[in-house]
Chain A
Amino acid sequence: MRNAKERPRLFLSECGRRARVLRHRLRRQPDRIDPSSRFVPGFRYGYGEREARGLELLKEWLSPEQFAQYDAKSYFEVTGCHSGKRYRISHGISMNIHELDGAGRPRVGWCFAPKGYLVAGDVMLAQKIALETDERGALAVANTFFVPTGRRNTLPHY
């Protein structure tokens, strides 16, 4: 009986110790950002500077309308060169492209990006150019993902 009470206490104590060690290790890492990038040697150092340069380059290549939209909403829209469909590119490096329906609502998600470890500004710029100049080629390599439309919630209750 005593053992049964002791075991959870020891377990919680061990969890607390591990959490403290982990917290201590994380504090010692300078310029910490996305956890995944910690596994890419040399990627995290100076990330903020590279991120800013990437965004600067993106803004130079955006049209005035796209620039204003991105500035206000952290996303911009582009028109596919082949289908004429509208796509919304949100700030990010993956799963950040949504094809829009006629009403401007996200219909389906598309995921493609330039190969390698690039900052968000570079990724978004490559996605924009790809959709505007070679939509079919870009979508041919892309994967799709489900976008919740919220229509489920609008169904009447019986």
Chain B
Amino acid sequence: MATQIVMDRTGDTRHNFDAKNADALLKAEVRFRELTGAGFTAAVRAASGEAVVKRTFDPNAEETLFFPRLVGG
């Protein structure tokens, strides 16, 4: 089971999906495009534990984190 975690005012919203299911994968890809198109940054954890930013949808990612556009404080 793969997960897309979206940071929001409720803490975070998690979308779990079966990466082997073509429909679920398509939905996840659409969500990825919508979020990144809206300014969210998508990041995954590499095997070493380091965060890696993803510009395109990675169907093999176990966990993808989305955080909103950065602004100066």
Q: Which residues of A contact B (CB under 8 A)?
A: 40, 43, 49-51, 53-54, 57, 61, 63, 94-95, 111-119, 122, 125-126, 128-130, 132-134, 137-138, 141-143
B37 beta carbon closer than 8 Å to chain A = no
Known: A54-B12, A57-B12, A126-B67. A132 touches B73 (CB 8 A): no
- Counting from the closest, the 7 A-B pairs by CB-CB distance are A111-B73, A50-B11, A126-B67, A53-B11, A114-B68, A143-B72, A94-B73
The interface-forming segment of B16-24, B25-33, B45-53 is: B45-53
Complex CA distance for A112 and B68, rounded to whole angstroms: 12
Q: How distant is B29 from chain A, measured CB to nearest CB, in Å?
A: 21
Chain B interface size, as a band, is: 20 to 34
Complex contact A126–B70 (CB within 8 A) = yes
Q: Which residues of B contact A (CB under 8 A)?
A: 5, 7-12, 39, 41, 43, 45, 49-53, 65, 67-73
The one of B9, B39, B65 in contact with A117, judged by C-beta atoms closer than 8 angstroms, is B9
Which residues of chain B have C-beta atoms less than 8 A from A115's C-beta?
39, 68-71
Complex contact A133–B73 (CB within 8 A) = no
Which residues of chain A have C-beta atoms less than 8 A from B5's C-beta?
57
21 residue pairs A–B, Cβ–Cβ below 8 Å:
A50-B11, A53-B12, A57-B5, A57-B65, A63-B49, A95-B73, A112-B70, A114-B69, A117-B9, A118-B7, A118-B67, A122-B11, A125-B67, A126-B7, A126-B41, A129-B43, A129-B65, A133-B43, A133-B53, A141-B71, A142-B70
Q: How distant is A49 from chain B, measured CB to nearest CB, in Å?
A: 7
Which residues of chain A have C-beta atoms less than 8 A from B11's C-beta?
49-51, 53-54, 57, 119, 122
Complex contact B51–A116 (CB within 8 A) = no
Which residues of chain B have C-beta atoms less than 8 A from A54's C-beta?
11-12
Complex contact B65–A116 (CB within 8 A) = no
Complex contact B53–A113 (CB within 8 A) = no
Which residues of chain A have C-beta atoms less than 8 A from B70's C-beta?
112-115, 126, 130, 137-138, 141-142
